Amino acid sequence: MELHIGIDDTDSTRGMCTTYLGALLADELAKFSSVVESKLVRLNPNIEYKTRGNAAVALKIKTTKPGIAKNLVLDAVEKYAVFEDENTNPGVIFFEGKIPREFNEIYQRALHEVIPIKDAAKTAEQHGAEIHKFKNGRGIVGALAAIGSGLDENDHTYEIIAYRHRKKWGKKRGVDKNSVREMDRRTYPLTFNNFDYNEERILITPKSPCPVLFGIRGENPDVLNRAYEMI
């Protein structure tokens, strides 16, 4: 069966990263399922209670063990989400089958609007989606939007992300500035937002104490793999 998984709002300004959780889950799910698609979906950046950049994660898998897959996801959220942060309110949505048009409508709204939790819950429930809310469950909005986001053939990009060992979280990132500048010189414009030449500043490293070491965005997965090897 085909199972869609949406996850949002597990991170915090003090650490963690929903994208990291999605990467961990993709690796674990691949041990007994086929991971068809993984998406990092950026939403309205002007949400006042966003934890950081306001992006959600969606995975599409084909599996004969949906119950095990769901338990794996929920256990991971319980383990990794930063529940002590008042703005961290995770949400998880599971949906089987073809994605309804109404889910895409929630995604389109989530790019520009503040969507009430009850609106997302109502839309999800009307189509038989399985909803899991932690604390106030605000994350179900992003989770549903991520599931509903279609990857337009000509309007999406890729990102390759390097993560740090847990003992390195919160410590200074040792990414070499010269290697980033050279990578940008050799791969731009197929990669972008790598380096600020006016400020002589690396742009691919976050400022927060999260698990991400660096992330490179671009138009072509092969180019991103080459760029990654240059850092």
Q: List the one residue out of 92, 102, 101 whose CA is nearest residue 132.
A: 92
For position 185, what pLDDT does the model report?
98
Tell whether the model's pLDDT for residue 36 goes beyond 90. yes
Q: How far apart are CA 63 and CA 69, in angstroms?
A: 8
Tell whether the model's pLDDT for residue 68 goes beyond 80. yes
Among the CATH numbers 3.90.600.20, 1.10.260.40, 3.90.79.10, 3.30.70.990, which is that of 158-230? 3.90.600.20
Phi-psi region of 221 (alpha: psi -120 to 50; beta: other; left: phi over 0): alpha
For position 13, what pLDDT does the model report?
79
Residues 190-227 have pLDDT tens digits of 999 999 999 999 999 998 899 999 999 999 999 999 99
- As given in the structure block, the two tokens for residue 197 are 């030449």
In the structure, what pLDDT confidence band is assigned to residue 98 with cuts at 50, 70 and 90?
very high
Residues 133-188 have pLDDT tens digits of 999 999 999 999 999 998 766 678 999 999 999 999 999 999 999 999 999 999 99
Query: Any idea where the domains of the chain sit in the sequence?
Result: 2-148, 158-230
Tell whether the model's pLDDT for residue 9 goes beyond 80. yes
Q: How far apart are CA 66 and CA 97, in angstroms?
A: 12
Contacts of 117 (CB under 8 A, 6+ apart): 133, 136, 137, 138, 140, 141
For position 15, what pLDDT does the model report?
81
Look up the CATH number of domain 2-148.
Answer: 3.30.70.2200
pTM given for the model: 0.93
